Amino acid sequence: MTLTHSNKNDLGSAIPDFSLLATDGNNYSLESFNSYDVLVIIFTCNHCPYAKFARPKLLGSYERIKEENIQFVAICSNDVENYPEDDFENMKSDKYNYPFPYLFDETQEVAKAFGAVCTPDIFVYNKERKLIYHGQLDDSRPNMGVVAANTMFKKEINNNETSARDLENAIKALLANQIPDEIQKPSIGCSIKWKK
């Protein structure tokens, strides 16, 4: 496992276009989400401990703000030959799936276009689809010393207590026609598993 920090992307940069198959059987492109004021793109995967830790927190954030005109989109870009847990069939299982589109970036071209490097790697775009937030979900971190002990890790990931919800704060600022803080802490996680 290689700990990786998200890159520093230029705020205000335009969102790359994409067209990918989702676990619900539909194909989604950037145009599919035109009606939303805020678009949140999350590069994640099934097997990464950091992605597993973030999943219930992402679901909590989604539940708290899903009534707003916001769309979350998760994308898995990992090499499935060497990491079969991240393949499309596993993505569709209840264990890993999301209540919002979960897309499969089989060629990894979409991750490269976004500049995504880790799981999770979170990008938030405004109505004009300009990047306004690229950073951590919140200030919590998994206790990697207990990851190997499954029962302890499950207890850890179910603890949603955190003192700062960076992603939600950025979204709320956007909805209030404010500019999110430009000082954004990078996300950390496992590196995206690139094909050789």
CA–CA dist 113, 153 (Å, integer): 33
The residue-averaged pLDDT of 159-165 equals: 57
Question: Which letter does DSSP use for residue 77 in this model?
Answer: -
Look at the chain and report how many structural domains it folds into. 1
Q: Measure CA of the first residue to CA of the last residue in the chain; give whole Å.
A: 17
Distances (CA, A) of 18 to 73, 104, 125, 172: 12, 11, 14, 26
Instruction: Assign residue 49 the CATH number of its domain.
Output: 3.40.30.10
Handedness of CA 116, 117, 119, 122 (dihedral sign): negative
Among 66-70, 71-75, 88-92, name the one with the lowest average pLDDT.
Answer: 66-70
- At residue 189, the pLDDT reads 94
pTM > 0.75: yes or no? yes
The answer to whether residue 182 is domain-embedded is yes
HSE of 38 in the Cβ direction (CA atoms, 13 Å)?
28
Average of per-residue pLDDT values in the chain = 88
Strand locations in 33-78, DSSP E? 38-44, 70-76
Residue span of the structural domain in which 100 resides? 3-191
| Domain assignment of residue 107, yes or no | yes
Looking at the domain assignment, is residue 131 inside a domain? yes
Token digits of residue 154: 């499950």
Q: Give me the pLDDT at residue 58, please.
A: 94
Task: For residue 26, give the amino acid letter.
Answer: N
Flag whether 196 is in a domain.
Answer: no
CA-CA distances (angstroms) from residue 6 to 3, 25, 66?
10, 29, 25
- What type of residue sits at position 138? D
To which residue do tokens 């600022």 refer?
A: 173
Predicted local confidence at residue 142, as pLDDT: 76
Of 114, 88, 123, 133, nearest to 17 by C-alpha is 114
Q: Is there a domain that residue 80 lies in?
A: yes
Q: Per-residue pLDDT averaged across 10-33, rounded?
A: 96
> Where on the phi/psi map is residue 11: left (φ > 0), alpha (ψ -120 to 50), or beta?
beta
Residue 102 lies in a domain: yes
Model confidence at 144: pLDDT above 80: no
